[in-house]
Amino acid sequence: MRLIIAEKPSLARAIAEGLTGSVRRDEGALYAGDTVITWCLGHLLEQAPPDAYDPAYKQWRLDHLPILPAQWKLTPRPKARGQLAVIRRLLKQAGEVVHAGDPDREGQLLVQEVIEHLGWKGPVSRLLISDLNRPAVQRALARIEDNARYQPLYRAAESRARADWLYGINLTRAWTLTGRQAGHDGVLSVGRVQTPVLGLVVRRDAEIRDFIPRPFFTLWVDLAVPHGQLRAWWQPGEQHPLDDQGRLLTREPAAALAERLPGAEGELTALESRDKRQAAPLPYSLSALQVDAARRFGLSAKAVLDICQRLYERHKLITYPRSDCRYLPQDHLSSARATLERACQADATLAQWLAGADFSLRSRAWNDKQVGAHHALAPTGKPAELSRLEKAEADVFRLIARNVLAQFYPPLVTREVKAEFMILGERFRARGQEILAPGWKPLFTTRDEAPPLPPLSEGERCRVEQTGVEDRETRPPEPFTDASLIKAMMNIARYVDEPAVRRTLRDSDGLGTEATRAGIIETLLQRGYLVRQGKTLRATRLGSALIASLPEAATRPERTALWEQRLAAIAEQGDDPTAFVAALIEDLRHLLSGADAERLRHSLASARGEETAPPGEATRRRRSTTSRRGGNAGTRRRPPRRRSST
């Protein structure tokens, strides 16, 4: 008997539909001839709690830390025992096992850890499915591989799970216990990824709070030129008070010049014109889709992930959604026209975009070298009756289809013009853009572009028609939204201060993964560290206090981003995970040494707006008081005992 173990029931049903012959269901499995398909229900197993290693760890104590398992253990999730029993029974009857987890790091771990936990010693094959429609499933069934090829991916996922356990269990216990000493009654959760993400928001909020607006002044002129009118802006020279961005800091020079300008004539002294060709945006990865959907439709990152899962599993309209790739396999190009015609024909908007596509074109999106275990999000080719979907589902599907359709549109061609005028011995600049060929642009926006400059020739004369001085202020950075926070997590190198570290971070590195970023934001909201204010995400007082109390290294993205690099090296290059875990434990010991009740007490009080002495000064005061009293002034109140929680 061949046993196929799918990641979830929807995938098991799709596999069964891809097999020939009749299918029957019985006791947690589907039977199709000599093939049986069963399934996990997400993760059936989880890392065992600390007290599984030593009963003493059930009580939270600082002197237990760090907790470092010598032999790692997994335990069934609360509602998983029934399905585990089904898989155990079927394994005893199987001659071959096929691993059919999702095509990513977590999917590799989820099924393989069950196979190993249940003691299977026979051969294991790997079935990779990214499209649940029957033809795609049948193609995947014809390309089953040896699971040994994916062992590095499994080791990386296993290392990630163990790292998260070590980091989360030890630091959460340390800061929760320290918090009790500081008077905080509750769990203070610290995570390898969630805490640096919270740190991003806390620091952005602090920049906004501490921002002091600075006034600056601009002077514009409306100029009459031989073939029309345009607006130009004064470029004050270094003899005037300027900031580091060349902005004028006092109004008087602009006001004085404005009085002299009306009716003045000048000359166009420099003219630069450049044509630009811009290819269509690539098809979506999940994170890129979450960013665009948040901006266009106000959808949270989790809402977009949930919608994509429904479009993939329930409606079978899109390919595997939890992808970090923005490229498509070259062998999909030959069937792209038929796929898109079937997917787009039932929707007026998509049909209109489809009619403008030129399928003789080939974009840079079709690139096997950029495709790993999974490819960009794309329609499967199943006819999409968008009127029968929820509005948000239809909106997201149109985005996914649009970005693939755009690969069959010509480039956007624009002409950028920069003009410099001399008037009364002062320089004025104007910029304009003209669309020469709209290409793919109409699929993405219907907004009118800024009007181009009129035809210009170097040396021609101009005359000032109107002028004005504008009083402006520098603005603080914008608070994070779902879109900008997901983008920050994707492009974390921008938030790294150390140049050497920044150079080592590739554009593809980031905090979290495509599958976890939305969940990280939701976790921070649920734990009371973040709050939504309209579309913005702001840190709560508790979230700010936690970040202030932690060692800075635990709140910044450098360490976690570099860890993701090391995990990628384990998955892609077969690096030894032992070195990764050893380095993590060394970091962990250093971070635990930074747990300080006084610092946390000060952080919590500051977050509540209370004035307290700095931590070092408070310590000196207590020592001085104790000395004057001739010893201990009393016994410290013992913190209340709490139930174990991670």
Q: Which residues on neighbouring strands pair with residue 233, listed in sequence order?
A: 220, 429
The CA distance from 285 to 536, in Å, is: 23
Q: Which residues on neighbouring strands pair with residue 396, listed in sequence order?
A: none
The CA distance from 127 to 142, in Å, is: 9
- Catalytic residue status for 53: no
Map residue 150 onto helix, strand or coil.
helix
DSSP state of 328: B
Amino acid identity of 351?
A: A
The number of helix segments (H) and strand segments (E) in the chain equals 21, 17
The CA distance from 223 to 205, in Å, is: 42
The CA distance from 295 to 305, in Å, is: 15
Buried b / exposed e along 257-296 (16+ C-beta atoms within 10 A): bbeebeebebebeebeeeeeeebbbbbbbbbbbbbbbbee
Map residue 172 onto helix, strand or coil.
helix
* Beta strands per DSSP E along 395-451: 412-423, 426-437
The CA distance from 230 to 462, in Å, is: 10
List the structure tokens of 547: 């970040």
Map residue 337 onto helix, strand or coil.
helix
Backbone φ and ψ of 146, nearest 5°: -80, 130
Q: Which of 320, 327, 495, 529 is catalytic?
A: 320
The CA distance from 559 to 404, in Å, is: 35
The CA distance from 575 to 569, in Å, is: 6
Q: Is the Cβ–Cβ distance between 201 and 539 less than 8 Å?
A: yes
Active site residues: 320
